[in-house]
Amino acid sequence: MASNGNGEFSFASGNGTVATAANGNGTARNGLAKIQTQKKDNGVCHDDSTPPVKAQTIDELHSLQKKKSAPTTPIKGTQGGAFAVTLSEEERQKQQLQSISASLASLTRETGPKVVRGDPAKQSDTPKVSSHVSHHHHFTPTISVSDSALKFTHVLYNLSPAELYEQAIKYEKGSFVTSTGALATLSGAKTGRSPRDKRVVKDDTTRDDLWWGSGSPNIEMDEHTFMVNRERAVDYLNSLDKVFVNDQFLNWDPENRIKVRVVSARAYHSLFMHNMCIRPTPEELENFGTPDFTIYNAGQFSCNRCTHYMTSSTSIDLNLARREMVILGTMYAGEMKKGLFSVMHYLMPKRQILSLHSGCNMGKDGDVALFFGLSGTGKTTLSTEHNRYLIGDDEHCWTENGVSNIEGGCYAKCIDLSREKEPDIWNAIKFGAVLENIVFDEYTREVDYSDKSVTENTRAAYPIEYIPNAKIPCVGPHPKNVILLACDAFGVLPPVSKLNLAQTMYHFISGYTALVAGTEDGIKEPTATFSACFGAAFIMLHPTKYAAMLAEKMQKHGATGWLVNTGWSGGSYGSGKRIKLPYTRKIIDAIHSGSLLNAKYKKTEVFGLEIPTEVEGVPSEILDPMNTWSDKNAYNETLMKLAGLFKRNFETFTNYKIGKDNKLTEEILAAGPNF
């Protein structure tokens, strides 16, 4: 309040405006009407413009800000009609916490921890012994014989992205909100997967089923060692004041979906899995029950290097009999995603369902295409098209009913990302998305996607609904085309080839691409990379089993196989040029439309590939790679070199019989290069 010297006083209001007192004649000096106030009987002035808030304290006011959204629908399977049993919210939450406590049970103590819902940082969330507190529920096991049993473990259960943002920013160093609203975070010392530290329990369940030995990604461990690591992870999680629990699904096919529980110590991990798994509705969450598979992510805590089978402080352990996965010594979130993919590679074939490391899209007429390809082949780019529906970008199942996406989100590489090249991915990086290990401007929070200061393996994880043309639910009919992508840096594979069934199996098992070695030591030669089934690090069974299932389904449903080279033409890397993306898109368009089936074909030497003589929108001279090389001798030498690499790689699989009479094995071998 201030006086102006004429008997008038001005008052600054809460919204920044100034009201001036009247000078006695009914008007203020500024010409405005005099402000009238109403006095109550006690002579005190009141502001009657709005009704008073229904709170006596600031804490009560804050509690009014959030409304409960707990579902109230009855549990399925209960007796219907007038005798239907509807569990109260309190009973449901008690059952939920009993299930979580059982998941966190120490097997040596045969009991789970005391668990309570809510954030321990909030004073109102602290559990009280008195029974009248009904808005926070906790479960105490009947046996308590350890120090950890004396404390409560707070469970942050299926939090929303907004809640997980708050947790990450407040408690996890290195978490920030970027200019587009995504959550930027760091995965610690490990910025990629650790395949050499992945172990699978070899027991009666897996001894005969899984692929072991030379070339296999499955490194064995025994049951006892798994239990040692499990105990270490569970003890670490139980020692924390709070853990994050996600109950979600895998596989959009409702008949074959898997219930997954993820217990983790970081909000970053919880939000990552919220995005990558299928998010249950409130009604589905009520009926979730016991999970089919559980992940214990104690990645902030290292494993004991003195433990048998351990080769570092990192260990990712799968026990298929127990349906459990333990993560120690790495905070890289991709370990959870790919660990579950390995599980699906084991569980689905047992149901005669083919699990695939592929992208998948569908045309407006219902024609579905599968895209297989290793890193750098353009799988994400070519499977994400504006004029086609995206079913998924990475993991799928092929069932008797068609195809279904395993995941509920996308995990895209971000290095050198631009709005022009990848507009859908660019626009998907918004509120709710997770950005791993990226670099941003400290003031504007704008991300520099070209910066590799932390790692070249920068990633974005976001719900699939963030892609405008995503098909929800993520299911489709049987595929019409199976497209195998290879980035051939040797420059000898044709831009497109039509494959017969045996050739499709051969190239599917081979999983070929070629990468260019690093230039820091002057190496310029391309390096061949083979990954069985285009995802050797994740498969559990022998590659020929997946190949046989693929061939059977392709034959049954009339799908055509294609080999598309997105790499070099006119010479190897360094002398030739990469095939232009618009040309590759024209080839893919011709495959989708069916026009390429009607083209004229000729056969190449050595690999015996059928190549079209013309494709609309593509120069005919590049369709035969020999035509693009000025030095024909160099072409032949390079072709023979690549053929030799294919043969040498396939020696790993030649001793494995497919079918009762081994006829299919012979056909596959004959489909490879001949020289």
Report, as residue numbers or ranges, the catalytic residues: 193, 338, 357, 375, 379-380, 394, 459
334 DSSP assignment: H
Q: Going by DSSP bridges, is the β-strand pair 324-328/293-298 parallel, antiparallel, or unpaired?
A: parallel
Using the structure block, give the residue that is written with the tokens 């994880």: 461
Q: In Å, what is the CA distance from 217 to each residue of 293, 544, 584, 672?
A: 21, 15, 32, 24
**Could you tell me if 138 and 114 are in contact, meaning their C-beta atoms sit under 8 angstroms apart?**
yes
Using the structure block, give the residue that is written with the tokens 């760091």: 186
Using the structure block, give the residue that is written with the tokens 């001036």: 20
How buried is residue 65: exposed, middle or buried, by Cβ count under 10 Å (0-12/13-18/19+)? exposed
Residue 621 CB coordination number (10 Å): 10
**Could you tell me if 539 and 348 are in contact, meaning their C-beta atoms sit under 8 angstroms apart?**
no
- CA 184 to chain CA mean position, Å: 16
Cα gap 364→387, rounded to integer Å: 8
**Could you tell me if 268 and 175 are in contact, meaning their C-beta atoms sit under 8 angstroms apart?**
yes
Spell out the long-range contacts of 303-308 with Cβ–Cβ below 8 A and sequence spacing 24 or more: 303/229, 303/232, 303/328, 303/329, 304/228, 304/232, 307/225, 307/228, 307/229, 308/221, 308/222, 308/224, 308/225
Contact residues for 333 (Cβ-Cβ < 8 A; gap 6+): 187, 268, 269, 272, 273, 434, 436, 461
Cα gap 639→675, rounded to integer Å: 10
Peptide bond into 494 cis (omega under 30): no
The phi and psi torsions of 481 (rounded to 5 degrees) equal -135, 140
**Could you tell me if 517 and 525 are in contact, meaning their C-beta atoms sit under 8 angstroms apart?**
yes
